[in-house]
Amino acid sequence: MKKDKVTVPLIPLRDIIIFPYMVVPLFVGREKSIKALETAMLSDKYILLAAQKKAKTEDPAPEDIYEVGTLGTILQLLRLPDGTVKVLVEGKKRALIKEFTSEESCFVVVAEEIEETIDEAIETEALLRSVIKSFETYVKYNKRIPPEMIISVTSIEDPGRLADTIASHLTAKLDDKQALLSISCPTKRLERLYSLMESEIEILEVEQKIRQRVKKQMEKTQKEYYLSEQMKAIQKELGEKDEFKSEIQEFEEKLKTKKLSKEAARKTKQEIKKLKLMSPMSAEATVSRNYIDWMTSLPWGFFTDEKKDITEAERVLEEDHYGLKNVKERIVEYLAVRGLVEEMKGPILCLVGPPGVGKTSLAKSIARATGRNFVRLSLGGVKDEAEIRGHRRTYIGSMPGKIIQSLKKAGSNNPVFLLDEVDKMSHDFRGDPASALLEVLDPEQNHTFNDHYLDSDYDLSSIMFITTANSVQGIPYPLLDRMELIRIPGYTELEKLQIVVRFLFPKQLKMHGLTEKNLRLNNATILAVIRKYTKEAGVRNLERQIAAICRKAAREVLKKGREAEIHMTGKLLAKYLGVPQYRYGTVDEIDETGVATGLAWTEAGGELLGIEVALVPGKGKLIITGKLGDVMQESAQAAMTYVRSRASELGLEKDFYQKLDIHIHVPEGAIPKDGPSAGITMATALASALLQIPVRKSVAMTGEITLRGKVLPIGGLKEKLLAAHRAGISTVLLPKENEKDLKEIPSQILKKVATVLVEHMDEVLVKALCVKGSEDIFKGAKPGADDKDAPSVVADTVNAQVRH
């Protein structure tokens, strides 16, 4: 039998297979497809509907389209405002694409109708019944197919039409549906359809089981909640406890034992009342429960018994720390007043000193001496105001600030509260924690400290606040004004020796499992460690070196036996700690021209500050290097102006500066330096370079210079003299106005370092430069001496040396 061939336009379909006898609306948007519809409308409305292999292909080629499609007719066509076309098509017959005759404006193909061939009637009838039965089961599980569809399918007698009708309603993959469309024999098509439906039914049965299981679980949860609510209602009627009544009773009992303020007690009672009316499962109940827990856990009105025995307090402070006279006196004074006055606001002390001098450990000793609890809060890096004041309860996970949290940890309302590293705070868009501390550290305000979380006033006035800092420069002035400043300078060599003997060495022996018999350190060895292996104001690095000795000694003891004895000598020290890291007691071997030694203060203690001046031919340019701050650069300019103003007295030409470029350099250029105290040192180095007269190697100096040559006072005197002593400097030139500060300098330092007080720069030059005829003045310099005739002498002595 001859098969019919037709030439028709083709529409490639995406994600859909159209079977014969199937009526479906399509939305057409591609230009070729719209043109194909227009071509079909102009003829007999026949069109071939074939699926493309990949839905994402926007402009398919002939090889991208399946060979078997459905020949259909256009029932209705509607153009939409957005340019697309809505078309209603009906599938008629299967068709095989034989060739593409046109691909330009639209696809036009020659298609051959596929005739259906029926196999044995008995087998087909059996398959019909099985497919209809399977479809009924499928509809039962798939709620998207209306039940009426079963009646419609049952009435179809043609096996091919039945297979196509069911296939159009089947949820299957595109490839599986295309395979069904490609099968011409109805019997084989029914067989393949039956297999697909059985697979889908198995999947739908598993889905239904999962849904039923989830539904059952949800019903169980709802049932438990319903019964729980019923139980609560019954218990309420019977007057029995509800499930969290005991917790609320516990809160109420704790509230009775606490001495809350009236405002705090009222707010806590209100929260407990609200909690009773809430569901325990609600989020708001958790917020209220946490708030009540905090309010009833704080040490409201609870104070530890304070020791008032001054003698015992002095003993404890001396037992824990060597030196630190000013701090110990202040604590004893507080205890003395506390013994006379019952109600007294806690002091607010600020311990300022270099690292490693014992500021933090001193606070612990103060707590032990006064019998108070101790709590520490580190403020280093804190930049959020809420860290101090807390978050409001409206925020999820909100908590009180660190002050209130620390009080809960302390367990009493009068602890020693250490605010460590108060100079290391910063601030950002979230607020300034230093400003929040203003209320905490103000004795006139901190009795009504208001934490954002508690939203009630809390009395902090009984707390002994102690803050620590390495420098006051990082502390805002309003905050600094609220604290009593106690400076802790660096330790002298003798103080370090005593600290090692009394505290550090016994501590390290115990930590390393050694006895005094295993390792012996004499004073000379300890001094060698201090001088040659450390260079610091505190003792932190010194403790590390002692620990290093103990570790190596422990290794030797383990090798030789527990009874081994190690006597630390100079040679053994070099073996244990290596080559000495610092020079001690050695100054420059020769007096140099244009090089002067100054004294500087740093957060780590005092340091020597070398200043060099070099002269090169030029046009009067002043070069200043060494990473100097603005103040120090201005000091260099002031020193230069002083030398120019004294040119005639110094025997220099008036226009000497116009022929030279002068370079002032401060070594260790990677370290920032600033401050005015190097003024006289720079002036001395300048005068030395211009006059070609060396500066005495054993002399160091510190002081600010004015344009008229006056020497102004400086700070950090003790640290600077300690640095001079460490370096082996024999004489230090100081401003006259710093004479009052010499009382704080240990006598053993003043015995080894002669201090010469000066008022004018001319005196400095006489004592610092190696000028013939000034040795007598220099040798006669005594601590506190005031050479009033120096300004008149300097011109004669210097000019004589220049002429010579």
Look at residues 19, 16, 14 and name the one whose alpha carbon lies nearest to residue 193.
19
- Report the amino acid identity of residue 295: M
Burial of residue 613, with CB atoms counted within 10 A of its CB: 0-12 exposed, 13-18 middle, 19 or more buried: buried
Do residues 306 and 370 lie in contact, with contact meaning Cβ atoms separated by under 8 Å?
A: yes
Give which of 111, 104, 113 is closest to 39, Cα–Cα: 104
Structure tokens at 132: 């209809």
DSSP 628: B
Point out the catalytic residue in the list 33, 677, 688, 774: 677
Tell me if 306 sits within 8 A of 369, measured CB to CB: no
Q: How much is the CA Rg of the chain, to the nearest whole Å?
A: 48
How far is the C-alpha of 738 from the C-alpha of 729, rounded, in Å?
A: 19
Task: Output DSSP code: residue 601.
Answer: E
Structure tokens at 417: 């509260």
Name the 3-class secondary structure at 320: helix
CA 595 to chain centre: 45
Contact 519, 477 (CB under 8 A): no
Sort residue 301 into left (φ over 0), alpha (ψ -120 to 50) or beta. left
Write the CB contacts of 634 (distance below 8 Å, at least 6 apart in sequence). 676
Question: 458 with 298: CB under 8 angstroms?
Answer: yes
Instruction: Report CA dihedral (436, 440, 445, 449) to the nearest 10 degrees.
Output: 80
**Is position 677 annotated as part of the catalytic site?**
yes
Q: How many CB atoms lie within 10 A of CB 529?
A: 23
Catalytic residue among 720, 736, 767, 774: 720
Going by the DSSP 8-state scheme, the letter that residue 114 receives in this structure is: P
Name which of 766, 708, 714 is nearest 736 in CA terms.
714
SS3 648: coil
Angle at 772 between CA 757 and CA 640, to 5 degrees: 60
Concerning whether 720 is annotated as a catalytic residue, the answer is yes
Q: Which amino acid is at 328?
A: K
Closest alpha carbon to 593 in 762, 733, 801, 780:
801
The Cα–Cα gap between 170 and 198 comes to 11
Rounded CA-CA distance 47/89 in Å is 9
* Sign of torsion over alpha carbons 378, 464, 407, 308: positive
Give the separation between CA 646 and CA 762, rounded to whole angstroms.
Answer: 9
Query: What are the residues facing 508 on neighbouring strands?
Result: none
Distance of alpha carbon 334 from alpha carbon 112, whole angstroms: 112
- The CA distance from 640 to 753, in Å, is 29
User: Element (H or E) spanning 134, and its range?
Assistant: helix 121-141
CA distances, 202 to each of 136, 196, 207, 570 (Å): 14, 10, 9, 90
Catalytic residues: 677, 720
